[in-house]
């Protein structure tokens, strides 16, 4: 067993802290979002409670050296005294930049009541315009939706509309124990709430505060797996026939305490859709469900499309772990298999690796304060992803150790060349 653990530890590699910046006030588990660009200039948006929103990324200077670039963005229609609750963003195109950013806010009024809004910012950037300038332009173009409930999670996903095809919509969990769908109203040049039951029958009448949503489409968008986790401990996973808008299967679990996050993921790291043939796209995927219990051990249900919620693996955390606030599923050791990262209130990230039908806790990384959120994306534009960690006090950028990456690349290149040489020899 000792030799097995040592061999797995070697696979994990090393991630080093390359930058950190402090926040003027703390955020929360909904305060960070990706801005993914086709030009290799990915960024993240980070919001603090007291109205400040930052764009974070990297930029080359005149000497071709990458420097971290953290810039405060001045979004319009976020009044003095307002508090930012959640942030989400997406890019409308795979080949161009047309970002849409959603921000939910609450503001005490002079009469003692609370005003609540969803601000949606968007503006087409054109062909390859400087991404930082484009984000600043977007921040000045706002459409506002007044809300009658206090918002929590802000999440974007797609629907299939018979008239206009695929469309991105916003889902908001509210203090009224309901989920709400906000959709663009192109005739009136604004956004408005639409009934959920037509497009998301699985999300109607949950009667609880939803803490997290994950929606996964497959089979050419003909099937959808929807997972929600709730404050009351409810977990609901639904398989939906998208074309007929019917629920095919549904699994419900109830835990004694809040389920802070839920995530649909495959064991293998996802490849580009261009790598698959038409037959592969229509194949039923092997999907797992990660259930992040806030105070109890988290659980992975394996291959639920085949086995339902029957095959479970408990993620053991040890005796010193506090409340789990966040999660991230990513191939951080670049072996083709995804790892699970759990962020805790006790200032740690727990890293699990899958080996022989078990999830093994292989590493703990310590931070300065509770870990609110994590994401894994390429910020430096070098083809390697960085781990971004939002804590209560600031944001960390973690990079793979360059020497380890170079050694890994060399070994794989040598193996590829050896394999190619053998194939050529066999064909002679």
User: What is the chain's length?
Assistant: 428
Q: Are the CB atoms for 27 and 47 separated by under 8 Å?
A: yes
The Cα-based distances of 112 to 77, 82, 108, 146 in angstroms read 20, 14, 6, 17
* Core vs surface per residue 99-116: b (16+ CB within 10 A) or e: bbbbbbbbbeeeeeeeeb
Sign of CA dihedral 6, 7, 9, 15: positive
Convert the pLDDT of each residue in 293-338 to its tens digit.
998 999 999 999 999 999 999 998 876 778 999 999 999 988 889 9
Torsion angles phi and psi, residue 12, rounded to 5: -65, -35
CA 410 from chain center: how many Å? Answer: 31
Tell me the C-alpha distance between 239 and 227, whole Å. Answer: 9
Q: What angle do CA 123, 103, 141 make, to 5 degrees?
A: 25
Q: Locate the DSSP E strands across 295-369.
A: 298-301, 312-315, 324-330, 339-344, 348-355, 358-366
pLDDT at residue number 222: 93
Split at pLDDT 50, 70, 90, the class of 1 is very low
Tell me the C-alpha distance between 173 and 155, whole Å. Answer: 9
Split at pLDDT 50, 70, 90, the class of 64 is confident
pLDDT at residue number 425: 75
Split at pLDDT 50, 70, 90, the class of 125 is very low
pLDDT at residue number 233: 96
pLDDT at residue number 6: 44
pLDDT at residue number 59: 85
Average pLDDT, integer, range 101-125: 88
Written as one string, the DSSP assignment of 132-171 is HHHHHHHTT-EEEEEESS-EEEEEEEEEEETTTEEEEEEE
pLDDT at residue number 130: 52
The answer, yes or no, to whether residue 265 has pLDDT greater than 90, is: yes
Average pLDDT, integer, range 392-418: 90
Convert the pLDDT of each residue in 175-196 to its tens digit.
999 999 999 988 888 999 999 9
Q: How far does the chain reach from its first CA to its final CA, in angstroms? A: 45
- Please name which of 151, 300, 295, 157 lies closest in space to residue 211, comparing C-alpha atoms: 151
The answer, yes or no, to whether residue 408 has pLDDT greater than 90, is: no
pLDDT at residue number 142: 95
The Cα-based distances of 41 to 35, 69, 395 in angstroms read 9, 11, 18
- CB 173: neighbour CB atoms within 10 A? 29
Q: Are the CB atoms for 207 and 177 separated by under 8 Å?
A: yes
pLDDT at residue number 44: 96
Average pLDDT, integer, range 16-35: 93
Tell me the C-alpha distance between 208 and 153, whole Å. Answer: 13
Tokens of 246: 């019917």
Contacts with 38 (C-beta within 8 Å, 6 or more apart), sequence order: 91, 93, 94, 95, 96, 97
Average pLDDT, integer, range 59-74: 85
Highest mean pLDDT among 158-162, 263-267, 333-337: 263-267
The answer, yes or no, to whether residue 259 has pLDDT greater than 90, is: yes
Tokens of 416: 């590829």
Computed over every residue of the chain, the mean pLDDT equals 88
Find tokens 């974007």 and name the residue: 156
Average pLDDT, integer, range 395-412: 90
Sign of CA dihedral 375, 378, 383, 386: negative
Average pLDDT, integer, range 25-44: 91
pLDDT at residue number 284: 83
Convert the pLDDT of each residue in 11-22 to its tens digit.
556 889 999 999
The answer, yes or no, to whether residue 127 has pLDDT greater than 80, is: no
């Amino acid at each position: 067993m000792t030799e097995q653990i040592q061999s797995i530890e070697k696979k994990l590699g090393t991630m080093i802290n390359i930058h950190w910046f402090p926040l003027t006030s703390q955020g929360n588990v909904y305060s960070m979002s990706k801005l993914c660009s086709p030009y290799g200039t990915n960024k993240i948006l980070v919001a603090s409670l007291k109205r400040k929103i930052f764009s974070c990324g990297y930029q080359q200077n005149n000497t071709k050296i990458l420097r971290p670039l953290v810039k405060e963005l001045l979004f319009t229609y976020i009044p003095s005294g307002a508090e930012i609750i959640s942030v989400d963003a997406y890019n409308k195109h795979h080949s161009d930049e047309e970002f849409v950013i959603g921000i939910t806010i609450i503001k005490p009024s002079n009469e003692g009541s609370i005003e609540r809004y969803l601000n949606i910012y968007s503006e087409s950037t054109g062909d390859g315009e400087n991404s930082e300038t484009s984000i600043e332009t977007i921040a000045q173009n706002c459409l506002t939706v007044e809300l009658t409930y206090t918002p929590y999670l802000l999440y974007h996903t797609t629907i299939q509309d018979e008239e206009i095809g695929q469309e991105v919509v916003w889902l908001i969990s509210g203090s009224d124990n309901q989920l709400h769908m906000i959709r663009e109203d192109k005739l009136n040049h604004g956004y408005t709430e639409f009934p959920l039951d037509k497009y998301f029958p699985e999300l109607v009448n949950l009667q609880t505060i939803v803490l997290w949503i994950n929606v996964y489409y497959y089979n050419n968008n003909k099937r959808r797996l929807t997972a929600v986790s709730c404050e009351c401990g409810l977990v609901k996973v639904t398989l939906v026939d998208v074309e007929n808008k019917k629920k095919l299967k549904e699994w419900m679990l109830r835990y004694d305490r809040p389920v802070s996050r839920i995530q649909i993921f495959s064991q293998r790291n996802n490849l580009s859709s261009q790598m698959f043939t038409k037959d592969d796209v229509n194949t039923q995927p092997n999907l797992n469900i990660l259930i992040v219990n806030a105070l109890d051990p988290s659980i992975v249900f394996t291959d639920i499309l085949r086995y339902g919620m029957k095959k479970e693996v408990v993620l053991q955390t040890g005796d010193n772990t506090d409340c789990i606030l966040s999660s991230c599923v990513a191939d951080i050791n670049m072996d083709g298999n995804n790892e699970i990262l759990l962020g805790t209130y006790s200032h740690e990230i727990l890293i699990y690796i899958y080996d022989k039908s078990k999830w093994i806790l292989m590493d703990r990384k310590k931070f300065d304060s509770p870990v609110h959120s994590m994401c894994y994306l390429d910020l430096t534009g070098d083809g390697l992803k960085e781990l971004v960690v939002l804590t209560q006090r600031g944001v960390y950028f973690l990079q793979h150790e360059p020497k380890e990456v170079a050694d890994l690349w060399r070994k794989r290149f040598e193996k590829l060349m050896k394999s190619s040489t053998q194939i050529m020899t066999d064909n002679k």
